[in-house]
Structure 1
Amino acid sequence: MATSGSGSINATGWTGSAQDANDYYEFTLTPNSGYQLDITGITLSARRSAAGPANYLLSYSIAGSETTITTGTLSVTTSTSISPTFSLKTPQAVRFRIYAWGASIPAGTFRLDNTLTVNASAPLPVELVSFSGQPTDKAIELKWATSWEDRNEGFDILRGVMPDGLEKIGFVEGHTTSQAVSAYSYIDRDVKAGLVYYYRLRQRDIGGGSELSKIIAIRADFEGEALGASVYPNPNHGSFTVTTSSLETSTISLHDALGTVIPVTIRKNGQPTSASVNAVGYVTPGVYFLRFQMSEGTTRQIIKVIIE
């Protein structure tokens, strides 16, 4: 049973030896319509009597899915500050619960002081959840998505051949205000085969503010006629098989997203159309590019290889 005190709430009956799903304090934070919560931490003060519960667990729940934030022990008769930091961004209501257990007798008390503080940061006008790109038909296609937009005017597309000094090459209009996932794309056709291009998004809001995304690097690998080559399995763990119409007329090399050559061991499988490639020990999970190159230096085909 919980009772209100001077600047606090107090309860007894926390006698379970482990966390009990029915023994907790609860409060809910609900954003105003059209806004989202952007929580970076929470601070509250808890206290137990000498016979009160020794353990606590703080969690939050969105739409019924519960996540533990922190757990710990409570000091005897002195206030314990519970102040975890975490990141939580959502336009939905968030329910917080603090569980307690381990009281030595039913009359042992657990008290929360009236000092709850929710730490939050000013939300950005856009929540960017992905930004990527890939070479396509003599062009580079950029794709990105947002999960949240508030007064979003749109995105400047910045590009350069070096990570610094990127310049604007285009603009994609935003969805202004949205609480749903929004997908965007941009095709850059002014590219030259074999070069690495660096891209960045500059999001502009209607009020005049702006935010920059991370920088991504994409190699324009699409020159030459394809050899009908394939890789399997793909994704893989750094070891895979290559098949093509002819391995005798081409050189195989593996590159990362910046164009760096990755050491590999290539073993032909007793036929001119198949070979085993092993890069284990030289690669980490990510996206790589397998290049088939003719003796005169012409690239015939590029295959994206995903290493898990």
Structure 2
Amino acid sequence: MKYFVSFLIVCLPLIGVSQARLVMNDDISMVMENEVKLIIDNGNANAITVIGAGGHILLASENDGLQWKIGDHTGTYSLPLSTHSMQKIPLGVTITEAGSADGTLFISSYETSDDQNTPLPASVTSMNSSIAGGEDGGLYAIDRFWVINADSYTFKPNMTLSFGYDDNDNEMGIENTIDEPSLVAQYFNTMTDQWEGNEGIVDFTENSVSNVDVLGSAFHGIWALVGYSNPLPIELLSFTGRYVNHSVELKWSTASEVDNDYFTIERATAEFSWKEIKKIDGAGQSTTILNYQEVDYHVPNEQLYYRLKQTDYDGSFEYSEMITINQGLSDQILAIYPNPVGGMLSIEMSNLEHAELKLFNNYGQQVAATYSVNSMTGRIDVSQLPNGLYFLECTTSSQKSIKKILVKHQ
């Protein structure tokens, strides 16, 4: 079906400045397709204003959208988005802590062509869900994606999002299996290729999911609304192992757990014939970071591979990424604590070999000075870093180790 552009732009000068506003009045519609971008060169929250019955902005794809030069402004920005059936699904963006003055928000939202949520945004690799044993979970998500990218910022703003959605058959019904009262927002983490987070508060009478907090230091641009009873998979915060005295010590952490019955540790050698080593009870339901530790005793004298199999109460399962254990070359980082950390991070080394420690943010940018360590302990002050996920890199003459660090201030 072809949709035609029909809109009214009224430019009103702001008092004391030369910038103008886009005013949409009485259900006027603006349809944007074929990679159309509307540039709003006004960082004030009222640069888009709706009056009367309001207006409709309809976007056809992730490449159609609004480039809003918000810069270092704060406030609540409301976009009168709508579906192609003219159901209003407003998007609210409240900037709670300003970013740098040179930044622009690119905002888009589009309805997918089917209940399996295709086409996917370009940076999304799958809609995999643990409820289906690692198979496609598109039927548990509303048939729409939201794209909110913070471009050209030296440092990105903190914000709180509110998503409107359409609960009619064209986006939520037909073949979908969605428990509307349990809807949450999830973001796609391009670093891990996973859907993560269970964010927000649903109001299924107003058709909105609000109170979704986004940190500038851990900014993710692709969002979906998913039934919490069937969330898209949560990536392990970490899964590591090291060889110690003819045994392998395994550690892993989860950021949250939903219906997690148990973990299974599996081991393989070069032939990749996986063997079950041990089962460990999961927490069932958890919204806090949990740490696990197990030892595989008397292992074969060769290179080993490990993975975790996580099984839900209903029998569905998914696998972690595989890790490799090279005997005789143990992890240079013996322990890091506390993790999460809000002040001083302590690092214990496995030997006295000279090491350099570097800390990177989620975008690969080094955020702390390089530390030279000649002892078995090191410390890094993270008290001035924003909340978010970081990566500690330890480099020696013989190897490099990378660990995930979660900075979380009280």
TM-score w.r.t. length of structure 1: 0.46
Greater radius of gyration (CA): 1
TM-score w.r.t. length of structure 2: 0.36
- The structure with the largest strand share of the pair is 1
